[in-house]
Amino acid sequence: MPVNSSQAGVAVRVFAAKAIDAVYRGRSLKAELAATLPKIHDVRDRALLEAICFTALRQRARYDAALKSWLQKPLGAKDGELHALLLAGFAQLDELQLPAHAALSATVEAARALGRPHQAGMVNAILRRAQREGLPPVDASATWPQWLKRKIESDWPAFAGAIFANSAQAAPLWLRVNRRKLSRDAYAEKLDELGLSFTVDDELPEAIRIDEPVAVNALPGFAEGEISVQDGSAQLVADAVAPAAQSRVLDACAAPGGKTMHLLERDASLRLLALDVDARRLQRVGENLARNGLHAELRQADAADPAGWWNGEFFDSVLLDAPCSATGIVRRQPDVLLHRREADIAALTALQAKLLDSLWKLLQPGGVLLYATCSVLKDENERQIDAFLARTPDALAEPLDARFGHASGAGRQCLPGEGGRDGFFYARLRKRLAK
């Protein structure tokens, strides 16, 4: 993609506009960034591109409200990249607080680089107005589609406002320290030497939270496997599963491998099978295990169809981090609110039920299945588990303590932003011993 300008930062704004426009047209933000970031060589520019895209999508309701108010006539169907560029400009001036002169200059020049020289003056005028007046406030729920907003308000009437507000905030960087290589305190000393501020949580023995933006690749020990990136809520999964030493464990939907690695970092004696239906994502699991010096059996297969892969040996523990609506991680995947459809929920709950029923048959009597999602919808969580228990006589729900969030039926629900963590549901199910 040619960018006919030598001005620093113009290419980043061009890439950001194209990425945001692609997301509006249905592309995954994760996939779009994966394709775009390798084109940018400077690590600071890559970080800026990500920050612009995430901010523009998280705050799109506010930014679109400003455009609706300030533009003399709405942008047309062919103005997708221009619309995205304006959102990118707002993000720089608003949440990212970039120096106004540099942000305006590079964004206006990006309009020209995108083949919009006749609209560069309009871009300049709109962004200067944003600089003078600020962006108008809107309710944080405005970004959510109405059907999904109603579900959140129905499921969590006392917490809906906080869910919407916290989902619009930037997520912190959570690290998991590999206890096989060093202690959390020892790694914290390395961060102190760099002058980075961080938080530790007594409920999460390997976790460190960094609230200021930092490139994880630049952190000490990352390449050597001393740390991995994993949200605090996801780190609690290892506590909820708590497999016995040398036991046979199945991580049924394992990619990208964070929970597999955490279990093995705690106990390398586990006989762990990491399963995933996606070959490319499973390859990433293998790469992450190798970086951390860990070993698990990897297999590409559909967890919902054990006949195609199970060898008949029962598992002592099964971890089912089920496919879900991702409504608990909107702050990390803001495109969820653009792409999720109401019909998706019924399809997801049917798949979750099939996975529960299929994997339960592979569990040793007396064994534990840990059901987890990054959703906040009770259809996928509380009501899903209630229905499973009702149809599964040999299943017994075991209580989890308050570390795992609010009591929600037979499980626990952490809501977005609580303790700085993602929204996450956990249910620990024990298979009764035969009488």
Reported as a single tens digit per residue, the pLDDT across 332-346 is: 999 999 999 999 999
| pLDDT confidence bin for 160, thresholds 50/70/90 | very high
- Residue 352 in any domain: the answer is yes
267 and 223 in a common domain: no
Same domain as 220, residue 300? no
pLDDT digits (tens, 9 = 90+) for 306-331: 999 999 999 999 999 999 999 999 99
Same domain, yes or no: 392 and 327: yes
Confidence of residue 43 (pLDDT cuts 50, 70, 90): confident
What integer is the mean pLDDT of 207-228?
90
- Lowest-pLDDT range, 168-182, 205-219, 313-327, 419-433? 205-219
53 is catalytic: no
Assigned domain for 1 exists: no
Cα gap 169→364, rounded to integer Å: 42
Residue 62 shares a structural domain with residue 76: yes
**pLDDT tier, 152 (very low <50, low <70, confident <90, very high otherwise):** very high
- What pLDDT is stored for residue 260 in this prediction? 97
- Give the closest residue to 424 by CA, choosing from 304, 295, 327, 346: 327
- Bridge pairing between strands 271-276 and 297-300: parallel
Domain extent for 288: 232-431
Q: What is the pTM of this model?
A: 0.94
The mean per-residue pLDDT over the stretch 92-102 comes to: 94
Q: How far apart are CA 263 and CA 252, in angstroms?
A: 14
Q: Please state, rounded to an integer, the average pLDDT across all residues of the chain.
A: 95
**96 within 8 A of 55, measured Cβ to Cβ:** yes
- pLDDT score of 5: 40
Give residue 7's pLDDT: 63
Question: Do 36 and 131 fall into the same domain?
Answer: yes
- The residue-averaged pLDDT of 83-111 equals 95
Contact call for residues 308 and 302 (beta carbons, < 8 A): yes
- Residue that finishes a domain, picked among 229, 247, 276: 229
Tell me, what's the pLDDT at 3?
Answer: 41
127, 42: one domain: yes
Task: Report whether 13 contacts 53 (CB < 8 A).
Answer: no
Say yes or no: 88 and 181 in one domain. no
CA distance 206 to 235: 8
Which one of 183, 204, 229 terminates a domain?
229
Mean of pLDDT values over 18-26 = 97
What pLDDT sits at residue 61? 96
Check whether the bond before 136 is cis (ω within 30° of 0): no
Place of tokens 């064994």: 367
Identify the DSSP state of 7.
S
Summarize the confidence of residues 111-131 as an average pLDDT. Answer: 96
Tell me how crowded residue 348 is: count the other CB atoms within 10 A of its CB.
Answer: 22
